[in-house]
Amino acid sequence: MSYEPQTFAAPDGTQMVVLPAAEYARLKLLAEDAEDVAAAKAIEARILGGEGTMPGEVLDMMLDEGITPLAAWRRYRGLSQAALASRAALSQAWVGRIEAGGGFGSRDTRRRLAAALDAPVWALEDERLEPAPKPVSPAKGRKFWPLRDHLRKSGKSVIVMNFRKVSALVGGLPPSATNHRPWWANHHGNSQARGWMDAGYEAKPDMARGFVTFSRIA
């Protein structure tokens, strides 16, 4: 059955549109894909224009000394860990942890460090900073089996749920689920991910609006 979007005016005069959740999720995914393509093209244009590249000195330090990109860029700029931490508004201990291979923690941290070093964000990435997730025993994710069963029964390719409904299904969500996007990471190192990955879905949360889109894994 087809469904025509409904329009109405909010009290302040703003024109609003009501459409099915699945259609909204589809349009949102298309918009995000378009943003990713635009970002990739922008990076390509910068590289072709001679910007946003990795200096040979940085690459040499990484290869010859086996250090991380962050450490190589910092030394290339002639900065101490303390100076870099100050520029990026981070603690020196956090910068030292990242340089030692402990991971960035968030995209925002990576962006701030890149800006402080006047380096492209992609040039700070290092596979060594993304440790392989440890396997989780099936029993550890048992709390999220009701979510898994709900997704399996739906049979839909895209399912949009607000955090309250997910919380009701699994008997409560921790504060990190509504405050930190990494909680929804799609890998089996997260015990909660068994609730959707075992059903054949991946999760994409919208932290600002308080809902998550489960899309069937192709």
Average pLDDT, stretch 76-102?
90
The answer to whether the Cα torsion of 137, 143, 144, 147 is positive or negative is positive
Question: Sorting pLDDT into bands at 50, 70 and 90, what band is 76?
Answer: very high
pLDDT for 178 equals: 86
Would 204 be classed as within a structural domain? yes
Same domain for 178 and 208, yes or no, is: yes
What percent of the chain lies above the pLDDT cut of 70?
80
Q: Is residue 28, in this structure, part of any structural domain at all?
A: no
By DSSP bridging, strand 15-18 and strand 201-206 are unpaired
**pLDDT the model gives residue 131:** 46
Final residue in a domain of this structure, among 78, 109, 129: 129
Distance CA 97, CA 105 (A): 10
End residue of a domain, out of 129, 162, 187: 129
pLDDT for 74 beyond 90: yes
Only one residue has tokens 């589809």, namely 26
Judgement on whether residues 71 and 122 belong to the same structural domain of the protein = yes
**pTM of the shown model:** 0.40
pLDDT greater than 50 at residue 132: no
Instruction: Mention every residue, 6+ apart, whose C-beta is less than 8 A from residue 81.
Output: 74, 92, 95, 96, 99
Three-class secondary structure of residue 107 per DSSP: helix
Of 18-27, 31-40, 190-199, minimum mean pLDDT range: 31-40
Averaged over 174-188, what is the pLDDT?
A: 84
The domain containing residue 99 runs over which residues? Answer: 56-129
With 60 as the cut, is the pLDDT of residue 149 above it? yes
Burial 146-162 (b: 16+ CB within 10 A, else e): ebbebbeeeeeebbbbe
**CATH at 120:** 1.10.260.40
Domain membership of residue 35 (yes or no) is: no
Residue 167 parent element (H or E): helix 163-170
The candidate with the shortest Cα–Cα distance to 210, out of 148, 158, 164, is 164
Give SS3 for 83. helix
Residue 37's alpha-carbon distances to 25, 49, 108, 117, 178, in angstroms, are 18, 18, 20, 25, 28
Given 104, 129, 154, the domain boundary residue is: 129
